[in-house]
Amino acid sequence: MSPGLFITIEGGEGVGKTTLISGLRHYFSDTGVPVLFTREPGGSARAEALRNVLLSEFDAENDMTVETEALIISAARSDHVAHTVLPALKEGRHVVCDRFADSTRAYQGHAIDSQKLESIIEFSTHGLRPDITLLLDGDPEKLLTRRVARDGAKDRFEVRGLAFHDAVRKRFLKVADQFPSRISVINAEESPSEVLKSAIAFIEKKLATHKSTAVLN
């Protein structure tokens, strides 16, 4: 049995990850392919507890440091990968994860030395890297407005200023430039059906290669 594919969904606030994941649930259900859907931070009991700590109310005057954010996320990720993601992949199931290491690069990468950050990521992921990353990209101002109109409440990342979200977007796109073979940049301002269509096209292209490799092995 060949291991499953690890698919990550990335992007800034309000890009429509939840909507895309809902569409992918239907897509994989129709194909009959066994898939585990999970998220970060979270995805295991201990990681979900750490998620609650991370997404606690933002305090502009006495907030946790970026280093603290990165370490909490990394601790959650280590548990999530070890107890949820790797077992599913070894069983031959595909795993679709809402956020992974690219989010750490985009959200905390501005304040932590890149070599240190990559060391933390490598340690926390147990060396696991995505096979496919779908990066939803769009104007942060438009997307944040859309998110707030839909959900109302904001978490500690969403309440930060537009300059922060613009910078996060730029860092995501920089990561996409570094890993073009695994990352597909999708226009999040298009309709949900078009976003899903683009995502499925990229996934199916990678699945074809994955099946060919499995046959050869």
- The tens digit of pLDDT for each residue in 127-163 reads 999 999 999 999 998 887 776 666 655 666 767 788 9
Q: Are 12 and 143 in contact (CB under 8 A)?
A: yes
pLDDT interval class at 20 (50, 70, 90) = very high
DSSP 153-197: ---TTTTS-HHHHHHHHHHHHHHHHH-TTTEEEEETTS-HHHHHH
pTM of the model: 0.90
Domains held by the chain: number: 1
Beta-strand (E) ranges in the chain? 6-11, 35-39, 94-98, 132-137, 183-187
Instruction: Indicate whether 63 belongs to any domain.
Output: yes
Residue numbers of the domain that contains 25: 6-216
Instruction: Indicate whether 11 belongs to any domain.
Output: yes
Instruction: Indicate whether 147 belongs to any domain.
Output: yes
Is residue 97 classed as helix, strand or coil in its secondary structure? strand
List the binding residues. Answer: 11-18
Instruction: Indicate whether 186 belongs to any domain.
Output: yes
pLDDT per residue over 46-95, tens digit each? 999 999 988 876 666 667 889 999 999 999 999 999 999 999 999 999 99
CATH classification at residue 193: 3.40.50.300
pLDDT value for 212: 44
Instruction: Indicate whether 1 belongs to any domain.
Output: no
Instruction: Indicate whether 185 belongs to any domain.
Output: yes
**Ramachandran angles phi, psi of 133, nearest 5°:** -130, 125
Instruction: Indicate whether 73 belongs to any domain.
Output: yes
Closest by CA to 101, choosing from 198, 22, 80, is: 80
DSSP conformation class of 13: T
Instruction: Indicate whether 192 belongs to any domain.
Output: yes
List the binding residues for ATP. Answer: 11-18
Token pair in block for residue 136: 């939803």
